[in-house]
Amino acid sequence: MRLVALSICLLITAFVVPSQAADATPEPEAVVSKAQLLEEKAADKDGATPAVPKSEIITQSEAQAVDPEGAASVDDAIVCLSRTLYWEAKGGTDADMTAVANVVLNRLGHEGFPDTICGVVKQGSEKKACQFSWWCDGRSDQVKEDERYAASKEIARKALNQQLADRTNGAMYFHDRNVKPAWASEYIKTAETGKFLFYKPKAGKPK
């Protein structure tokens, strides 16, 4: 009898465990809430940034739960940021995308800029003068290179988790190496990547 009972228990376990694992898929709403909390921390410019608790870390699977194939709404932090990195640094390297992420976070909550990731990305769209050109260029935003977009999502995840060092040294502006905008002379150049040049205001206040 004991052997029969033990066999039944093992069979029940074999069916229950996989079911529990399947239910462990993160809910997109929960991930967006977590991203919003991390945005608030990133936007708080007072004092040192505290370490992100493990419970608030956005994992790779959670990022994919929000935007599995680049088809989710652009109205959440992860998608807004990953799309910006993908399109602004099109044809660039991970270093280019990381630096663009630095600029977005440097603007976040700073005087003259919105206090959310999506707000920063869309700033100026109401006047058709977007700060980030991909949002206003009138072209399709559909991702065409899955591997590069996966890289942009991973960088966006790290940015929201405050795990990226600022390779731009506080930059709030950037431009492609192939152009020479008139405004560049009014700012301090802080860094370069293979694709971009980065700047910050001379007096500490953006124009």
pLDDT in tens, 171-199: 999 999 999 999 899 999 999 999 999 99
List strand residue ranges (DSSP E) for the chain, in order.
173-176, 187-192, 196-201
β-bridge mates for residue 176, sequence order: 196
pTM of the model: 0.81
The angle formed by the CA atoms of residues 88, 91 and 94, to the nearest 5 degrees, is 80
pLDDT band at 119 (very low <50, low <70, confident <90, very high): confident
Comparing 5-14, 36-45, 173-182, the range with the smallest average pLDDT is 5-14
* Domain boundaries defined on the chain: 29-201
The pLDDT of residue 87:
87
pLDDT in tens, 71-97: 777 778 998 899 899 988 888 999 999
| Crossing angle between the packed helical segments 146-160 and 28-43, to the nearest 10 degrees | 60
Rounded to whole angstroms, the Cα distance separating 89 from 103 reads 12
**Looking at the predicted structure, is the pLDDT value of residue 108 above 50?**
yes
The pLDDT of residue 147:
87
Decide: 56 and 38 in contact? Cβ < 8 Å. yes
If you average pLDDT over residues 58-69, what whole number do you get? 87
**Looking at the predicted structure, is the pLDDT value of residue 11 above 70?**
no
**Looking at the predicted structure, is the pLDDT value of residue 204 above 80?**
no
Decide: 113 and 206 in contact? Cβ < 8 Å. yes
